[in-house]
Amino acid sequence: MKRIVVLDSTLRDGAQAQGISYTVEDKLKIVKRLDALGVDYIEAGNPGSNPKDLEFFERVKKIEFSHAKLIAFGSTRRVGISVEEDANVKSLLQAGTDAVVLFGKSWDFQVTDILKTSLDENLKMISDTVRYFKGLGKEVVYDAEHFFDGYDSDPVYAVETLRAAAEAGADSLCLCDTKGGFLPADIHNITREMVAKFDIPIGIHCHNDIGMAVAGTIMAVQAGASRVQGTINGLGERCGNANLCTIIPTLQLKMGYSCIPEESMLKMTTVARAISEISNVIHDERAPYVGKAAFAHKAGMHADAVVKNASAYELLNPEMVGNERIFLMSEVAGRSAVIGMAKKVEPSLTKDSPEARLIIEKLKEMEHEGYQYEGAESSFELIVRKILGKYHPSFELRDFKVIVNEPAHANERNSSAMIKVRVGDQEEITAAEGDGPVNALDNAARKALSRFYPSIHEMKLTDFKVRVLDSTSATAAKVRVLIESTDGEEVWTTIGVSTDIIEASWKALVDSIEYKLGK
C-alpha cells in the first residue's frame, strides 16, 4: 500500500470559515481528536497572526502526541527585509515546532500587483526563508500559494518558485489551488508534470469554490502526489477546503492507499461529529461516510436487499468508518426495514417472530395518530424496547407547569417551567427559565434529573421542528414535534404528537432523555 501523508489544517484553514471562532480550549480539544485519528501533521495556526495562537502553541507543548506532529504556519519573509528581522519569522520560531509550513507566491500577478515587488525578489524571499529554517534544523513544507493560477498564467515562473524552495532545502512542495477553481483533470495533468520535475514529495491543497476540492485532491494523488492537505468536514474560508473525512476513507478503503492507521478509521465518524460540535456548526448529515444519511435506507425493496446482503446498496460496511446502518421508518418501508431496525434491540428477531407482528401493528397505530419515525428512529427504538420488555423508565413525571411572560427587557428570558419528577422512591421538584416554553421545560427537566443522572449534562438540544398535521383545524390542529439532541459523540432524534404543542414537545423531550440514559 502506497503511503499518503495527511496534513490537517482544521485549526488554521478551518478556523477561517464563516461563523467559526475557536478558543484556545477548543483548539486543544481538536488537537487531541486529530492525534487520535492518526493524521501525520496538525497545522495548528499562524503564531504571527494573533496572540491566541501564540498562547495555544505555548499550552500545546504540555500535550504528549501519540502519532501527529504539530506544524506552525507562516509566510516567507516580507519584501525588502532580511529573514532575521521579519516579525512573522520570529513568531514561527517562538511557536517551537520541529516543522513549519511556509507559503509563498507562485502567481506572477500576485507578486507584481499584490505584493508590489519584482519576480526576482519573490524568488529570493522564498529561497531565503526556506534556507533559514532549514539552517535551524526545521522540517519545511513549502506551500505554493495560487500555484495552479500561476501555472496557467506563466508556467515557467510558477515552476521557478518551486525550484527556489526545493534548491533551498524544502522537504516537500505543496501545490495549492487557493481560489478553488481548477478542474480535477487540469489538477491531475499539472501535478503529474511537477512530480516528474522534482525528486522531493509533492502535496496537494484544494479549496472547494466549484465543489471539486475532494475530486481535485484524489486526481492529484492519482497523478503521483504523496501528501494531501485538508480539513475535517471540509471547514474553511468561502466554500471550504478539501474534506479529509471524504478523502481519507476514499483513498484508503476504495483505492488501496494507506493514510491513517487501520484501527483509527473506526473513529472517523466520531471525530467528524465531535469537531462539528466543538466548532458549533450543525453536522452535515448527508456527508459521505460520516453523515447520518450515508447508510440510511428507506425504500422497502432496497431495505430488504440490504438486510439480505448489505453490499447490494452499500459501498462498504458503515462500521469501517465508525458509522451505522439506518432503516428509515416510513410508508414506503417494508417489513424487512422495520425488523432490521428492531434487530438493533434484539438480534434474534425475525420477520416471523410474534414480537415482529406486534411491532409492525404498533408502528401502524402510531402512524395513524400522526407519528412518523423516518426522522425519529430513537423514539421507534424505545417503542421496540417496550414491546420486547426491555424498557425500564429512568424517571416518572409527576407534574409540570409552564409560564410564558412578556419580558420587561429584550435580553430577558420569557418562559419558566416548574417540574416534579420521581426517580425510584425519591421525588425532585425544581424550576428553570428558558428562551421559550420548550427550552424552559428542557432546562427544568435536566436540572431535576441531574442529581440522579449526572451524565445528562453531556446532552443538549440541537434542533427543534414543529409541523402542523391538519391545517384545517387551525389552532386546534394536531402537531408533530421533532427534537434532535447530541452528547457530542452521537446524535439522535425523537418525536411527540399532540394537539397541545407543549405536550408534544414534552413527549419528544422525554424520549430524548430516556434514549440518552438508556445508552
Last residue of a domain, one of 202, 224, 253: 253
- Structure confidence by residue, pLDDT tens digits, 412-468: 778 899 999 999 999 999 999 988 888 898 899 989 999 899 988 888 888 888 888
Identify the CA nearest to 285 among candidates 274, 294, 297.
294
- CATH code: domain of residue 457: 3.30.160.270
Q: Give the pLDDT of residue 332.
A: 45
Q: Give the pLDDT of residue 53.
A: 82
Q: Give the pLDDT of residue 196.
A: 98
Q: Is residue 14, in this structure, part of any structural domain at all?
A: yes
- CATH code: domain of residue 208: 3.20.20.70
Helix axes 300-308, 335-342, angle to 10 degrees: 50
Last residue of a domain, one of 196, 226, 253: 253
Domains in the chain, number: 2
Tally of residues, the chain: 519
Q: Give the pLDDT of residue 190.
A: 98
**Phi and psi at residue 460, to the nearest 5°:** -150, 155
Q: Give the pLDDT of residue 280.
A: 85
Q: Is residue 282, in this structure, part of any structural domain at all?
A: no
Q: Which domain holds residue 438?
A: 396-518
**Phi and psi at residue 212, to the nearest 5°:** -125, 25
Q: Is residue 258, in this structure, part of any structural domain at all?
A: no
**Phi and psi at residue 464, to the nearest 5°:** -145, 120
Q: Is residue 268, in this structure, part of any structural domain at all?
A: no
Q: Give the pLDDT of residue 331.
A: 45
Last residue of a domain, one of 191, 221, 253: 253
Q: Is residue 15, in this structure, part of any structural domain at all?
A: yes
> Considering Cα of 19, then 22, then 26, then 28, what sign does the dihedral take?
positive
Q: Is residue 311, in this structure, part of any structural domain at all?
A: no
- Structure confidence by residue, pLDDT tens digits, 106-146: 999 999 999 999 999 999 999 999 999 999 999 999 999 99
CA distances from 425 to 306, 421, 452 (A): 46, 10, 12
Q: Is residue 368, in this structure, part of any structural domain at all?
A: no
Q: Is residue 209, in this structure, part of any structural domain at all?
A: yes
Residues of the chain with pLDDT under 70: 48-49, 298-313, 327-337, 340, 374-375, 408-410, 471-476
Task: Tell me the C-alpha distance between 503 and 499, whole Å.
Answer: 8
CA distances from 369 to 165, 220, 365, 477 (A): 69, 54, 7, 12
